[in-house]
Amino acid sequence: MAGRPATEAAGRGRGPVVEAGGSGSLLATANAGPTTSRGRRTRAALVAAARDAFEELGFRDARISDIAERAGTSYGVFYHYFDSKESILHELFTAVTGEMYNASQAHIGSAGGPVEAIRAANRQYLAVAARNARLIATIEELAFREPQFRELKLRIREPFVRRNEAGIRRLQERGLANPRLDAPLAASMLGGMMENFTMLWFVHGVEYDEELAVETLTTLWAQAVGLGVPDTTAGAVVAAD
């Protein structure tokens, strides 16, 4: 089936993280947040309203008054929690990439072996990328023009690359991956492949078959690091053409 992953119906740019344990938070936000339940509800409403406004109107055209109105609060209340549109977009993007970071974990020790773990992580990552495509596109656009957003993008990308690098090294230590492979460079290249592929699919509207995409990405990841891909996996990729 062409189009976005079917799991996108469950909800609203890195790849599978190979054999990494623990989820944790990707980046701590600058503001620890309000301490009262009412304050937390208000802040959450503002963040949700900002997402709606940015996705519908675009970051440039969305005004703080638009966000406040959608959140059912006032202009002044917005400034009690955030000092600018940029600061609330920073929080949104940090939360989204944290979701993608957690979704892209490949638990190699699980049943099915490393290739199956990478396949599962690819499927989960694509679903989360589809849900958040418009927000990711906003950051990508801003990163080309504004140094603060370019820095934000690169800073948030780094934990994905480091975790993939660590996973590749573990596979090398276990004799499962190519020992001559440069782990840092491979991690960055494979992450870039996933980032660009999801932008083409979910932002620019190029249509791909979901199952074929998952299987092909899995084969590319596994073969790139030197893992053997079962004949059944390779066959599924070829047969689906």
Nearest to 44 by CA among 98, 103, 95: 95
* Per-residue model confidence (pLDDT) at position 240: 33
pLDDT tens digit string along 83-133? 999 999 988 888 888 888 887 776 655 567 889 988 988 998 899 899 888
Band (pLDDT 50/70/90 cuts) for residue 76 is very high
34-83: which CATH architecture? Orthogonal Bundle (1.10)
Report the range of poorest mean pLDDT among 11-20, 73-82, 89-98, 223-232: 11-20
Q: Is the dihedral of CA 177, 182, 186, 188 positive or negative?
A: positive
* Per-residue model confidence (pLDDT) at position 85: 93
Q: Do 118 and 125 contact (CB within 8 A), yes or no?
A: no
Q: Is the dihedral of CA 34, 37, 41, 44 positive or negative?
A: positive
The pTM of the full predicted model, rounded to 2 decimals, is 0.74
85-241: which CATH architecture? Orthogonal Bundle (1.10)
How much of the chain, in percent, has pLDDT values that exceed 90?
46
Residue spans in the chain of domains classed CATH 1.10.10.60: 34-83
pLDDT tens digit string along 16-46? 655 433 333 444 444 456 778 888 999 999 9
Q: Do 109 and 19 contact (CB within 8 A), yes or no?
A: yes
Residue spans in the chain of domains classed CATH 1.10.357.10: 85-241
Q: Within 13 Å, how many C-alpha atoms sit on residue 67's CB side?
A: 30
